[in-house]
Amino acid sequence: MRFELTESQRLVYRAVEEFAARQVRPRAADWDREGRFPHEVIPQLAELGLLGLQVPEEYGGSGLDAVSAAVAVERIAWADGSLALTVASHNSLCTAHILLFGREEQKRRYLPRLARGEALGAWCLTEPHAGSDAAALQTRADRRGDRYVLNGTKAFVTQGSVAGVYVVLARTGGEGPGGITAFVVERGAPGLRVGKKEEKLGLRASDTAEVVFEDVEVPEENRLGAEGEGYAQAMRVLEGGRIGIGAMAVGIGRAALEAAVEYAKTRRAFGQPIAQFQAIQWMLADSAVELDAAWLLVLRAAWLVDQGLPFRKEASMAKLYASEAAHRATDRALQVHGGYGYIREYAVERYYRDVRLCEIGEGTSEIQRLIVAKAILRAT
């Protein structure tokens, strides 16, 4: 495989970086402090094609390859982790589920709306008592003639209170993964309501909420695939989502490293810039090495997607290493800043809070280690 971006991928990098530097970075701290979802930038994201990154042009999307999509998420995360999570989850979860498993009629009905930003997408898998053990979900979808009736509660739904289109995983059969089916549910469906909006440690400008289904009727035509296929579909969707989380982690980590370098050059102690001290230099060097390694893992996973090759293990490797490397990079950046890193006047405090989610979302670090271990054990 190659490790150099193509000219078209570099164009995506520069275009997204320019937008992020001009329209996102200067406002990110305010959005975080207010805990406010930035509705005002959604039309701009749509105009740039960032809400339909890998949606084919025939459905109104940008039709980008997976590497370009990862590049776009990384550059947005460099400016604001919250907005990067919005873009990543909208594209790689809800939209991707419909793109991968929807019938042609479903794709034509929903993908253009999602790509144009007329509706944001949410993906409803996790429940209060079913997180890493996703096969234990209890939301029911009981068939009644040509309709299904959904009852249950979904937790930690990204875009939960602002989405227009929800992909919902629910139980149509018995216990275990074979009894789970996916459905598309639109905002405004009678019985669908938003529950508690979460007050989070970080990524505070990303909308996270509980979504409750109380006798929500869903027509059979809104079922994605056959009954019982939902769990396998969800696992495939998560594989792609992990590449996005890895890219997001790298973007936040790089922002933290840049802030640490800038601060170390200007902060003086004992008569010289602290960048002259070996202890500081080694922290910066470790972060630079680890973030570059993380980015190469992300690019490899995305490249495999573009080649049509298996990428499950590589996506887990990328997400695992990138999230933990970025966490270390933000921790070092905060340490370089000393006491100033602990106050909101400096952005590293926000980076430190934001990056922590990357070790949890789309499967915890522990789950990623299990996936990688099982893959290498099968191969030997």
Q: Is the dihedral of CA 248, 251, 255, 261 positive or negative?
A: positive
Give me the long-range contacts of 142-147 (CB less than 8 A, separation at least 24).
142/172, 143/172, 146/219, 146/220, 147/217, 147/218, 147/219, 147/220
Task: Write down the mean pLDDT value for the chain.
Answer: 97
**Closest C-alpha among 307, 182, 294, 168 to residue 243:** 294
Q: Give the pLDDT mean for 176-197.
A: 97
Question: pLDDT tens digit string along 344-372?
Answer: 999 999 999 999 999 999 999 999 999 99
With a pLDDT cut of 90, the percent of the chain lying above it is 98
Q: Residue 3: is its pLDDT beyond 80?
A: no
If pLDDT is split at 50, 70 and 90, which confidence band does 289 have?
Answer: very high
Q: Of the residues 74, 324, 359, 362, which is catalytic?
A: 362
- The predicted pLDDT at position 1 comes to 61
Give the Cα separation of 27 and 99 in Å (integer). Answer: 32
Q: Give the pLDDT mean for 324-351.
A: 98
- The predicted pLDDT at position 330 comes to 98
Give the Cα separation of 132 and 28 in Å (integer). Answer: 30
Token pair 């639109």 in the structure block, residue: 186
- The predicted pLDDT at position 353 comes to 98
Entry field: residues in the chain: 380
Q: Give the pLDDT mean for 218-239.
A: 97
**8 A C-beta contact, residue 71 and residue 9:** yes
Q: Residue 140: is its pLDDT beyond 90?
A: yes
Q: Give the pLDDT mean for 137-164.
A: 97
Q: Give the pLDDT mean for 1-28.
A: 93
Question: pLDDT tens digit string along 120-136?
Answer: 999 999 999 998 999 99
Question: What is the radius of gyration, based on Cα positions, of the chain?
Answer: 21
If pLDDT is split at 50, 70 and 90, which confidence band does 2 have?
Answer: low
Question: pLDDT tens digit string along 190-199?
Answer: 999 999 999 9
Position 342, amino acid: Y
Question: pLDDT tens digit string along 20-74?
Answer: 999 999 999 999 999 999 999 999 999 999 999 999 999 999 999 999 999 999 9
With a pLDDT cut of 70, the percent of the chain lying above it is 99
- The predicted pLDDT at position 351 comes to 98
**DSSP class of residue 198?**
P
Output the CA–CA distances (angstroms, integers) from residue 154 to 126, 163, 282, in the order listed.
Answer: 6, 14, 44
Q: Residue 335: is its pLDDT beyond 90?
A: yes
Token pair 């209060």 in the structure block, residue: 128
104 annotated active-site? no
| Residue 277 CB-density burial (10 A; 0-12 exposed, 13-18 middle, 19+ buried) | middle
**Closest C-alpha among 158, 70, 161, 79 to residue 350:** 79
Q: Give the pLDDT mean for 333-338.
A: 98
* DSSP strands (E only) in the chain: 121-124, 140-144, 147-158, 165-171, 180-186, 192-197, 208-219, 223-224, 268-269, 272-273
Q: Residue 304: is its pLDDT beyond 70?
A: yes
If pLDDT is split at 50, 70 and 90, which confidence band does 139 have?
Answer: very high
- The predicted pLDDT at position 188 comes to 96
DSSP-assigned beta bridge partners for residue 169? 182
Give the Cα separation of 243 and 130 in Å (integer). Answer: 23
